[in-house]
Amino acid sequence: MELWTIVPAVWVSTWVMCVCRTYPLVRYMIEQTPGGELVVGYKYTHMVIYIVCLFFITPFISAVVLNERQRKNWCVAYVAQVCKENK
């Protein structure tokens, strides 16, 4: 096979796995965290933005798919930044 068929296949499969493994956990954590009311109110908008942005950063965070600890760290850090209060 040629490289131009392998790279997009790996990219898309990693992206799908990343979305499937992180989004349900992120959504649950945001619902349980104070400060996440806005995201809960616009849950479909948040989902689309999360999925599209994740597509572009997938090569840099591919360890999230492979390692359970990395996935937990990613989700905790993401929720902390999204639900953080600006003062």
**pLDDT of 86 strictly over 80:** no
Token readout for 37 is: 């009311």
Which phi-psi region, left, alpha or beta, contains residue 34 (left: φ > 0; alpha: ψ -120 to 50)?
Answer: beta
- Within a domain: residue 63? yes
- Within a domain: residue 87? no
Per-residue confidence band for 50, with pLDDT thresholds at 50, 70 and 90: very high
Taking CA 26 as the corner, what is the angle to CA 70 and CA 61, rounded to the nearest 5 degrees? 35
Residue 2's pLDDT is what?
86
- Within a domain: residue 64? yes
Could you tell me the residue range of the domain that residue 42 belongs to?
3-78
- Lowest model confidence (mean pLDDT) among 40-44, 55-59, 81-85: 81-85
**Structural domains of the chain, count:** 1
- Within a domain: residue 84? no
Residue 1's pLDDT is what?
67
Q: What's the pTM value of the predicted model, to 2 decimals?
A: 0.86
- Within a domain: residue 32? yes
Say what percent of the chain tops pLDDT 70: 95
